[in-house]
Structure 1
Amino acid sequence: MSTGDSRIGRRALLGGVGALGLTGVVGGCSNEGRGGTAGKGGNAPQSQVRPAYVPYTGVKPDLAGAEYNIPNAFTRYPADPVRAVTTPPGDGKPIQVLTFTNTPIPPKLEQNRFWQEFNQRVGSPVSISLTPSVDYTQKFATSVAGDQLGDIFMVGAVPQIPSLLEAKATDLTPHLSGDKIKKYPFLANLPELHWNSCIFGDKIYAVPVPRGAISSQALYSRADILEKQGVKAEVKSADDFLELCKALTDRRQNRFALATSPTPFVRNMFDMPNTWSEDGKKVVSYYEHEAHEQVFEILRKLWTSGYIHPDAFSGQNQDMKVRFGNGSSPLVVDTFSAWPSYLQTAVDPNARIGIIGPPKHDGSGQGKIWLGAPNLSTTAIGKKAEGRVETMLAYLNFLAAPFGTQEYLFRKFGLPVVHHKVVDGNPVLTDRGFSETQLGLMYTADGPWTIFLPEKEGNSALEFEAMKRLCPDALANPVAGLYSETNVRKGSQLTADMDQLTSDIIQGRKPVSAWAGAVKKWKSGGGDKIAEEYAEALEASR
C-alpha cells in the first residue's frame, strides 16, 4: 500500500459519519470485513493466516447445539467451576478501553464494587470509556480523528476501514495466526468463521465478538396469555397469523397483539433472501424481491386493523420489551439473544415465553427465518499499545473465558451476595449486580454464546428447542463478513431511507407503489455499487 493510501483524513472520516449507524460496526449486522486486501479494498483468501480453532472441552453442555449450528445450553452452573486463568493478564499498568453499551451506564469506579474487584483480578486498572450504542459511530470517528482510541477499541463504522486498521491498529498476525493463537486458548475457542471480519490484506487486525445464530430474529409470544385466550400458537399461513392477531387484540383492555411491526416475520413468509442472495456471479439485494407488495398488504392490514401497538413506530427499543412484559402486546419480533431481557421485564411471575415460527404465506409449508450475522463487532489493539500487545491479548483472552469457568461466573454475575444470589443452585443477578456489571465487557471480547437462563427454571431448554426447530434451516447472508467500502460510506443512510419508506407504507403515508421507485433510487444511489463490491469480495474469498 502506498503512503497516500494509508492516510486517514479527518474531513473524510467525519464526513462519512452522518450516513452510518450502529449496524455499520465492522463484523456486525452490516456484514462487512471478511478479510481483505487493504490497499485494494477487496477480500482475499486467508488460509495462511487464519487462527487455528481449538474448541474448549472443559465443560459438557446439558444440551449440545453443534449439530444444529446453535449455542450449547446449560440448566445448571457447575458447582465447582474451574479456574481457567491462573495468572492475572494485566501488567500493572492501566488498560484503556473504548467500546459501547446497550444498557444504562454503570456506577463509576469509586462506587462500583464489581469494577474494583474486576481490576484486582485483571492485575491492571482498566479504564473503560462507554458510549450508548446509538452514538458509538460518532464517538469512534471523533476518537480516530483526535488520536484518542486508547489501548483496546471496538472497530466502528467509518470510511476506509482497511486503511484505518493498518494505520491505527496493531498487526496481530505474529501472535494469532495458525497455531500461535494457542497461547490464548479462549480466543482459539472462537470458530474459524468469526475471524473472517478481522483479516485484511492477509493480516489479522482484530479479535471477533461472536454471535451468530443467537442474533437471529423470531416471533416471541406470551404463551401464558395465548393459553388464557384459548388461542393456538401455531400458524400455518398469513391468514392464520391475521386471525391470531385479531384474537389477541382487545382495545377496551388497551391490548394490541403486536408490540412492533412484525416486518421481518412477514418477509420470512415469502422466503425473502437474508439481505443478499447469489445470482451466478452477482449478488442481489432482497429489496428487489418480487413479493414486497404482498408483504406490505399484510402489514398494512395489521396496522389498519389495530393489531399493532399505536406507538410501534416511535419510542425506544426498551418500550417493546415493556409492552411484552406487562402483557399489553403478547407478540414481538426480536433476537434470540433478547430472551433474558424478556424474562426480566415480565410483570406476571407466571409469564411464559414461546416462539412462533413463520409459515409460508400460502399455507404450503414452513417459512425460514434469517440467520444472524456471525459477529456483533470486532475489537482491535491500538498501535500505541503495540509494545504491550501480549498483555492486551491476555486481557481479551480473559474476557473470552467460557461458560463453566470461575472467570465467566464472575464476569457475568459478580460477587456472591453482593451482586448475585443463588437460586436452586444457580446465580441470579440482583438489581445492584445488574447495575454494576454493565461495563461493556461482552462487547469487548466474549466466548461463543451460551444459552443459560437461570432467572426461570426450564427456559434454557425452551430456548434451545426453539432454536433447534428454526435455526438449522435459517437463510444465511452469503456476504456476511465481507467488506464493501461503499456500504461503509453510504449503506446505513441508504438502508435508513428504505426503512423509513417501509414505515410510511405500512402506516398508509405512502402508497405501496412507491417501493419500486425507491428501489431504483437505492440502486443508482449506491446499491448497485455495493452489490458489485460484495460480488467481487465473495469471489475473492473462495
Structure 2
Amino acid sequence: MKTIVPTAVPDAAPRRRRAVTTTVAAAAVVAVLAACGGGGAGAGGGSGDGETLYALSADNTPNYVPLNLVEPDLPGVDGSVDGFLSIPDPLVRSFDAPPGSGGTYTAMTPLWGTIPPTEGNAYFDAVNEAMGTTLTFQISDGNTYGDKLAAVLSSPQDVADWVSIPTWNEPPRFGQAVEQIFQDLSPQLAGDAVEKYPNLANIPTEAWQACSWNGKVYGLPFPQEVGLTDFAMYRDDMLPDAALPTNADELLTFVEDAGGDGAWGTNDLWATATVIHGVLPANGWELGEDGALVHRVETQEYRDALEWMTKLYASGAVHPDAVADNQGDAGTRFESGQVAVTSSGLGYWHEALTRNRAADPDFSMDVLPVFAADGGEPVIYKPSGANICSYIKKNDDPAAIDELLAAADFLASPFGTEEYQLINYGVEGVHYDLDADGLPVATTLAQREVQPSYIFLVDPPVVNAKVNLPDYVERQTAWSATNAAYVVEPLFYGQNITEPNQFASLGQPFDDLEKDIARGRADMADLDAAIETWRSSGGEELRAFYTEIYEAQQDGGESTGS
C-alpha cells in the first residue's frame, strides 16, 4: 500500500511539456529574485561572498545515526535495501506522546491518483492528532504539479508553510530562489543537532545531499534506493524455461525468442541499454584520458548503446506500439501478455504484481540479471539519494520551525513502528483490518481517504516491506544485494548544480535523436552532426562551466559559478 509514485514519474509528462513548464517557472523565479534583490548571484546560488557551494558542506551535514528498531529478515548488503517478510507483532512505538505543540500549518504536495477529501477525513485527523500538529493539505495533480509550483513560487506570499518539490519540478535558478523563500535548516539539523530528531538522523547522508543547496540543508528528503532503479523485467510465467541472458547479444536473442503465440518479445529497452553499456546518467560527465571533461553524448558507451538499440528494433522483436513510441501503454502490454519483456523503474515490479495477483494468482514476473554488454561486470551509476524534497517556508518564529521539524521526525518513523503503520495504512478497524496472516486489508473508506500525502513531506529510509508479496521481497532484495558491488558514484555526485539558463534545452535534440536512431530513421552520422551542433551551440561553454567547478573543487576551493 506504500506504492504511490509511478515508477517513471519524471517521464510521465512528455519532455516538451516539461520544457514549457520550466520556462514558465524560470520566469516566475527570476521575478521573485529580482524583487528580493537576489538576481545577481552566480549560477547555482551564492554563499553571500560571491562563492558558490554545490555540495553539502561537512559542517552542515546531519550526522547519520541508524536506528535498528526491527531486525530485517533479509539484511541489505553494501547499502542495498533491507527486506521484511512480515509486519512485526507487536509494533514498536516511536513516540510516547505527540511531539507537536498544537500548531496548524498548510502543506502542498503532489498526488498521482484520486485526490482525497481534506475536510472530514478520518485518516488526516488521526495522523494529525498522533503528531500533535495539524497539517492542512493542498494536494495537486502530480502530472501538472510543475505548473502549480511555478504559479505559487511566483507569489511567495501564497507559498504553503511546507512544500514538496520533486527534483524534476525544480525551476531554473532554484538554488537562488530557495534562499529567498525557504528556511535554512542547517542550524537545527547540522552535525549532532539532528540527533534531537532520531528518525531524521536515521536518514542516510546521500538523501540530505540531494536536498541541500549552497552548502546548506534546506530540504527534507523522500529517500530513494541508492542502487539500480530501472532495468528490464520479464514474464517468467510466460518464459518458465528460458535461459537468462548474460550479455548484450544474448539479450537480443532472449527477446527475439520471447515472442510467439500472438505475443511480441519486448517493449522499448533504452533504459536497460544504457545500464548494460555503462552510459553516464543524463547530463553526466566523466574525465577523459587527457583529463578534460567528456559529456555523456560524447562517450563511446553512449554510441554503443544506440548501436545496440538499432539491432533491437531491426530484429522485429519490439511491439509495434512501442515502435510508434506509445510508451504510455507499455505496462498494459506487458501485464496483458502482449509482450514478454519491458524496461521500467523497479517500483513497477511490485505494482504490477499487486494489480494482477488478485485476479490471477499465477501471474509472475522477475527482473533480469544485470550484466555488462560484453558479459563482464556492469557499472551501475549511483542515483541521487532522494528525488523528492520538501521545504519549510521562511518563518521568523523559531517555535514554528521546531514544531514542523518535530512533525517531520514523526513522519520519518521507520517500518515496524506504530507511527509508520498509521501513516501508511491509516487506523486499524477504520481504514484497514488484519487478515489471518496479520496483513492489513484496506477498507472501502481507506480507498477514499488514505492516499499518499505525508510521505511526500519526508519519509524514512527505503526498505522492502511488501509483506503481502514475500516472493517479491526475496527476489528483489537478493537482486539488489548482488548489484550493490557494482555501484559507483558519478562525477559531481551529491551536488545540486544549477546550470545557467541558456543551457536549459541544450540536450533536448538528443531525446528525439535517440528514438530516431533506434528505429532506423537516423544513423551515427546524424549523431556526429548533433554532437558538433551541441558543442557549437553551448556545449563547450557548458564544459567550461563544469570544468571550473571541478578544478576549483580539486584545489579545495569553491567555484564562483560565473
TM norm. shorter chain > 0.5? yes
User: 1:357 pairs with 366, 369, 372, which one?
Assistant: 369
Correspondent of 2:485 among 454, 458, 472: 472
**Partner residue of 1:220 out of 219, 233, 236:** 233
1:345 and 2:355 equivalent?
Answer: yes
CA distance in 2, matches of 1:411, 1:34: 35
CA contact (8 A) 2:56 2:213 kept: no
Mapping for residues 301-320 of structure 1, pairs under 5 Å: 301-312=311-322, 314-315=325-326, 317=328, 319-320=329-330
The match for 2:188 among 143, 164, 175 is 175
Q: Does 1:368 align with 2:375?
A: no
> 1:196: which partner in 2?
209
CA distance, structure 2, for counterparts of residue 262 and residue 12 of structure 1? 27
After superposition, the Cα gap between the structure-2 partners of 1:341 and 1:531, relative to the gap in structure 1 and judged at 3 Å, is farther
1:297 to partner: Cα distance: 3.3
The whole-number CA distance in structure 1 between the counterparts of 2:23 and 2:237 is 50
Structure 1 position 273 matched with structure 2 position 280:
yes
Instruction: Give the residue type in structure 1 aligned to 2:172.
Output: P
Deviates more, 1:497-506 or 1:88-97: 88-97
Aligned to 2:82: 72
1:94 and 1:127 in contact (8 A); partners too = yes
* 1:144 aligned onto 2:157: no
Three-state SS of the structure 1 residue aligned to 2:251 is helix
Specify the alignment match of 2:245 in structure 1.
Answer: 235
Seen in structure 2, the aligned counterparts of structure 1 residues 122 and 439 have a Cα distance that, compared at 3 Å, is same
Partner of 1:25: none
Contact preservation (8 Å) 1:358, 1:369: no
CA contact (8 A) 1:257 1:330 kept: yes
What amino acid maps onto 2:490 in structure 1?
A: N
Partner of 1:4: none
- Equivalent position to 1:262, from 269, 288, 291: 269
The alpha-carbon distance between structure 1 residues 306 and 114, as it changes in their structure 2 partners (threshold 3 A), is farther
Matches within 5 A, 1:51-450: 51-65=62-76, 67-101=77-111, 103-110=112-119, 112-147=121-156, 148-155=158-165, 156-213=169-226, 216-227=229-240, 230-232=241-243, 234-250=244-260, 253=262, 255-259=263-267, 261-275=268-282, 276-279=284-287, 282-312=292-322, 314-315=325-326, 317=328, 319-346=329-356, 348-362=360-374, 364-384=375-395, 386-387=397-398, 388-423=400-435, 424-429=437-442, 433=446, 436-450=449-463
1:271-330: per-residue Cα shift (whole Å, max 9, x none)?
33344243176442221112444433332332243322222354565x323322222222
Shift of 1:408: 0.8
Runs of 4+ aligned residues of structure 1 deviating over 6 Å after TM superposition are 33-36
- Structure 1 residues 294, 478: CA separation in 2 closer, same or farther (over 3 Å shift)? closer
SS of aligned partner of 1:127 = strand
- In structure 2, relative to structure 1, the CA distance for the partners of 1:225 and 1:381 (3 Å cut) is same
Would the aligned equivalents of 1:84 and 1:406 in 2 still touch at CA under 8 Å?
A: yes
Quick one: distance in 2 between partners of 1:430 and 1:494?
49
Identity, in percent, stands at 24
2:7 equivalent in structure 1? none
In the TM superposition, what is the alpha-carbon distance from 1:431 to its structure 2 partner? 6.8
* Residue-by-residue CA offset, 1:118-151 (whole Å, 9 max, x unaligned): 2332333322222333423322121111222211
- For the 8 Å contact 1:46–1:199, the answer to whether it is kept is no
Return closer, same or farther for 1:199/1:242 CA change in 2, 3 Å cut-off: closer
Residue 12 to residue 466, structure 1, CA distance change in 2 (3 Å): closer
Cα distance in 2, alignment partners of residues 18 and 316 from structure 1: 32
Per-residue deviation, 1:464: 0.2
Structure 1 residues 355-394: Cα deviation after superposition (integer angstroms, max 9, x where no partner): 21243334x4243344332111222110147541011111
Asked if structure 2 preserves the Cα contact closer than 8 Å seen for 1:168 and 1:382, the reply is: yes
| 8 A Cα contact 1:36 1:202, kept in partner | no
Secondary structure of the residue aligned to 2:459 is coil
TM-score, normalised via structure 1 length = 0.85
Aligned match of 1:5: none
Corresponding residue SS for 1:208:
strand
Measure, in 2, the Cα distance between the counterparts of 1:431 and 1:503: 43
From 12, 22, 43, the equivalent of 2:54 is: 43
Q: TM-score, normalised by structure 2?
A: 0.82
The aligned amino acid for 2:273 is V
Indicate conservation of the 8 Å contact 2:228/2:380, yes or no: no
Stretch of structure 1 that moved more, 213-222 or 143-152: 213-222
Secondary structure at the counterpart of residue 87 of structure 1: coil
Give the Cα separation in 2 of the matches to 1:173 and 1:396.
15
Contact conserved, 2:104 with 2:136, CA < 8 A, in 1?
A: yes
The change in CA–CA distance for 1:526 and 1:515 in structure 2 (over 3 A counts) is: same
Q: How far, CA to CA, are the matches of 1:116 and 1:45 in structure 2?
A: 36
Runs of 5+ unmatched residues, structure 1: 1-10, 20-32
| Secondary structure, aligned partner of 2:506 | helix
Amino acid at match of 1:62: D
Q: Give the letter aligned to residue 157 of structure 1.
A: E
Letter aligned with residue 138 of structure 1: D
Alignment of 1:451-462 (within 5 A): 451-462=464-475
Query: Any conservation in 2 of the 1:479–1:534 contact (CA below 8 Å)?
Result: no
The alpha-carbon distance between structure 1 residues 237 and 219, as it changes in their structure 2 partners (threshold 3 A), is: same
Helix, strand or coil at the partner of 2:233 = strand
Q: What 5-or-longer segments of structure 2 have no aligned partner? A: 1-20, 30-42, 557-562
Match of 2:513 among 491, 501, 521: 501
Shift of 1:61: 1.1
Report what 1:29 is aligned to: none
Q: Pick closer, same or farther for the CA change 1:12–1:279 going to 2, 3 Å.
A: closer
Change (3 A) 1:12 1:57: closer
Cα distance, 1:478 vs structure 2: 2.3
Residue identity opposite 2:349 in structure 1:
W
**What is aligned with 1:481?**
494
Deviation at 1:76, TM superposition (A): 0.9
Q: 1:315 to 1:132 in 2, by over 3 A?
A: farther
